[in-house]
Chain A
Amino acid sequence: MARKIPEINASSMADIAFLLLIFFLVTTTMNVDTGLPRMLPPIPDKDQKQDDVEVRKRNIFTVRINKSDKLLVNGEPMDIVFLKEKTKEFVVNPNNNPNLSEQEEKNIPLIGKYIVSKGVVSLQNDRGTSYKMYMKVQNELVAAYNEMREDLSRGTFGKPFDKLSEDEKDAVSKAIPSRISEAEPKNIGGK
């Protein structure tokens, strides 16, 4: 007859596991880091001539934000809610308006002939602009480009942009290059 093995008391096991659980809850964070990815322009060389990239005036879409967070778009005051549509209109220029960006037909792999805009969005801010407003404007500009890319990829490939293959994404990015430039900081008008 086999001897009966006494059962090991496992009631403190739960306490140990709880202790570990609480330790991990305290020392770790749950949040995933998200943000707007951007590239800064490299510092220009001193020897390099300043005028090698000349952009015509109609191809620049200036967005200025002053220290009281008001927008001045191409010399006119504007509310932020219209900024996205205005940016899209400037880049696409559907009616070939001579005041909006120039268009140039290019041959793009996978898409074929596509009219690429030469427009550049130039963002200028004051030292007194709040970061919140700056981010709002950045977000609207990025949103404008993202929406145009979304439209193109749905129209050409029948899929949303983030479902495209790498090559297709490349083609769409070439057809609608995101050109948001930030001006060299200037110190005008004090703080």
Chain B
Amino acid sequence: MPAISTASLPDIVFMLLFFFMVSTTMRETTLFVKTSLPSATEVAKLEKKSLVSYIYVGPPVKNMQAMLGTEPRIQLNDSFKTLDDIRDFISSERDAMSESDRPLLTTSLKVDEETRMGIVTDIKQELRKASALKINYAAKRVEKK
């Protein structure tokens, strides 16, 4: 019996590779907090990822809970931060953008659904003080009933 030619196998795999390269985005930050997002029907897609900065709020992940407890915390970029750091974070995000894009800065709040509103209200107040008024409450899309 002649061997089956596998010469076209690389082509197939490359095709798969290109599909994944095009349809996915790079993972940018490692999450230290658990954020299971609430669901909503009226969500809109976040356009232009370069204009978006993320604030993660939620209880620390399982293997950090022994050290940090389960109280919701704020994560900016790659570390835990406090409320006072938000203004610095926003201004550094602004500085990294080109001048014409600065007014378009959107802050996406990725907040765990079990979080209480107190911390979210505080974050919103900080964002208002930093005049980063465009925000986006991250949510999963669900179909309407």
**Chain A contact residues, CB within 8 Å of chain B:** 10-11, 13-14, 16-18, 20-21, 24-25, 27-30, 32-43, 125-132, 134-136, 138-139, 142-143, 146, 182, 185, 191
Assembly CA distance A79 to B118 (angstroms): 23
* Contact residues of A: prevailing secondary structure: mixed
Give 3 nearest A-B pairs by CB, closest first: A127-B118, A28-B24, A17-B13
**Chain B contact residues, CB within 8 Å of chain A:** 6-7, 9-10, 13-14, 16-17, 20-21, 23-27, 38, 40-46, 49, 52, 106, 108-109, 111-118, 120-121, 124-125, 127-129, 131, 133-141
Most chain B CB within 10 A, of A35, A42, A43, is at: A35
Assembly CA distance A185 to B124 (angstroms): 10
Asked whether B121 lies within 8 Å of A127 as measured between CB atoms, the reply is yes
- Across-interface contacts of A136 in B (CB, < 8 A): 38, 40
**Closest CB-CB distance, B25 to chain A, in whole Å?**
6
Asked whether A35 lies within 8 Å of B137 as measured between CB atoms, the reply is yes
Total residue contacts A-B, CB cutoff 8 A:
150
Contact A27-B42, Cβ < 8 Å, known A34-B140, A129-B117, A130-B113: no
Assembly CA distance A25 to B45 (angstroms): 23
Contact A36-B128, Cβ < 8 Å, known A20-B17, A125-B121, A131-B114: no
* Selected contact of A10 from candidates B7, B25, B26, CB within 8 Å: B7
- Across-interface contacts of A18 in B (CB, < 8 A): 13
Asked whether B116 lies within 8 Å of A128 as measured between CB atoms, the reply is yes
Asked whether B40 lies within 8 Å of A139 as measured between CB atoms, the reply is yes
Question: What are 18 A-B pairs at a CB distance below 8 A?
Answer: A14-B9, A16-B10, A17-B10, A17-B13, A27-B27, A28-B24, A29-B27, A32-B45, A32-B46, A35-B44, A39-B135, A125-B117, A125-B121, A127-B117, A130-B116, A131-B38, A131-B117, A185-B125
**Closest CB-CB distance, B86 to chain A, in whole Å?**
13
- Across-interface contacts of A25 in B (CB, < 8 A): 20
* Selected contact of B24 from candidates A20, A29, A182, CB within 8 Å: A29
Nearest A residue to B7 via CB reads A10
Assembly CA distance A34 to B49 (angstroms): 11
Asked whether A24 lies within 8 Å of B133 as measured between CB atoms, the reply is no
Asked whether B139 lies within 8 Å of A24 as measured between CB atoms, the reply is no
**Closest CB-CB distance, A48 to chain B, in whole Å?**
15
Asked whether A13 lies within 8 Å of B24 as measured between CB atoms, the reply is no
- Across-interface contacts of B118 in A (CB, < 8 A): 127-128, 191
Asked whether B42 lies within 8 Å of A39 as measured between CB atoms, the reply is no
**Closest CB-CB distance, A126 to chain B, in whole Å?**
7
Asked whether A134 lies within 8 Å of B46 as measured between CB atoms, the reply is no
**Closest CB-CB distance, B125 to chain A, in whole Å?**
6
Nearest A residue to B42 via CB reads A142
**Closest CB-CB distance, A172 to chain B, in whole Å?**
16
